[in-house]
Structures are given as structure tokens and as C-alpha cells.
Amino acid sequence: SISRHRSFEAIRDILLKVDVPLVVAAYLFSDEEIEELFKLGCYRVVINFPTPETSERLKKLMKTFSPTKIVVRLNVFQREPYDCTWAKLPHDITSAYAFLKELGVLRVLLSCYSETETKTIDYEFLREIFASTKIRSTFIGGLKSLDDLIRMKEFEKMGLDSVVIGKAIYENKFKCQLLWRENEKLLEDLGP
């Protein structure tokens, strides 16, 4: 499609201009499109939560590109798991993670809300999730401030090793400049 072609062009441009690992959400992409993303130089690709019918596809993708390169998207709303399209999954959170672990998944791109309109993070349930699973996680959505980011730090030893801050930055609600200034005070070598 034209919009998918434009996405690939934009990804190619980004990869040519920046030297950072790029993780691309390819929830509904074909296997061929995922292969193209890796050929372009993407670091990881995020796919939709697998169903029993699509689990063989997931295994094939992980075998082809490595389990460290394929990430599964999981949304949690009011303590119930959903896929990337917000279709309710036939699992509770424990069985959803057990299913992923059985398939060999090593990383989940996770959101966890008690309320979706304001993207209120359910920190209490997030703690329960991390206490019961050993799959590495990247958190996405609902981080609106430096305080939210600092609060995520409490989950670092439980399996959370990265976060995605998107909308809050481009809407200038996450004052990252303040964070950078604070870091500059601590750093001796600011680099080039």
C-alpha cells in the first residue's frame, strides 16, 4: 500500500540520519515486510500478541531473526490483557505470559492502564505483573512527566529495562530539557 511504502521510506530516512537502535511497531505487517525492516537496519520489530493459530508464525520469525529481535505487544486495561488492536485476549495476565514464555518470547512491549481515556498507569497491577513474570519488558504509554519516568525505575530490577516516551515529548508535556540539564550537572564528559 502507499502508506506502508511511505512508512518504509521514513524508516530508511531515520536510519540514515541517526545512529540509535530503531524499534519498529509492525503489528500487522507481513513476514516479507518484517524481513525488509531488518534489511533496512531496524534493531527490533514489534508484532501483535500471537493467537494459538499464529504462534507458529511467531516461532518462525524468532528462528529467522532471533528471539532478541522480535518483541510482542501486550496491552493491559483494567487488569485484562488485550492485543495491539485492543481485542480482548482469551487469557488472564498469568496465562498470557505463560503462553509467551512457552513460545520462547524474550521481550514484551507492555502498556498497563486502569483508565484508557487519560492513560492512567496501573502501577499496582504493573508490580504484580513484574513479580510473576521473567520476560523482559519495555513500557509504553501514559508516561507524562519526569515523575512518571522516575516511578518506572522501581520496576527496573523486576524486568523493566526501557520505556517509550513519545506523545508526551512531541506535545512538549515531558520536559526532557530539564532532565538533560540535570544530567549535565552530573556528567564530566558531555561528549561531542
Tell me: the pLDDT tens digits for 119-152? 899 999 999 999 988 899 999 988 888 888 889 9
* Average per-residue pLDDT for the chain: 89
Contact 81, 111 (CB under 8 A): no
Is the model's pLDDT at 189 over the cut of 60?
no
Predicted TM-score of the model (pTM): 0.86
**Closest by alpha carbon to 136, among 164, 172, 97?**
97
CB within 8 Å of 83: residues ≥ 6 apart: 48, 49, 73, 74, 75, 89
* Residues written for the chain: 192
pLDDT digits (tens, 9 = 90+) for 69-108: 999 999 999 999 999 999 999 999 999 999 999 999 999 9
**Closest by alpha carbon to 42, among 76, 73, 7?**
7
